[in-house]
Amino acid sequence: MTTVEQKLGRRIAQLRQKAELTQARLAEASGYSEDFIGLVERGINAPSVSGLERIAKVLKVELKELFTFEEKKR
């Protein structure tokens, strides 16, 4: 079963790639380390709510967009 952290991480990675940003650039612009962003994208760690807000701002999306998960078809 996929955790919400894993879904969130995959979504952030998708949005980051769509914005043509590296993990390093997202980290720098959001005030996190590149290692932390990598852990977030792998679903191992999760940012604070204010951190999610910063990430959304860097990705130029609304905060709720980070939680718009695509359901996998069976």
The single-letter code of the amino acid at 23 is Q
pLDDT > 70 fraction of the chain, expressed in percent and rounded: 96
pLDDT surpasses 70 at 10: yes
Positive or negative: CA dihedral 20, 8, 64, 48: negative
pLDDT digits (tens, 9 = 90+) for 15-47: 999 999 999 999 999 999 999 999 999 999 999
Domains of the chain: 4-62 (1.10.260.40)
Whole-number average pLDDT of the chain? 94
The answer to whether residue 74 scores a pLDDT higher than 80 is no
Residue 2 pLDDT = 86
The rounded percent of the chain whose pLDDT value lies above 90 is: 89
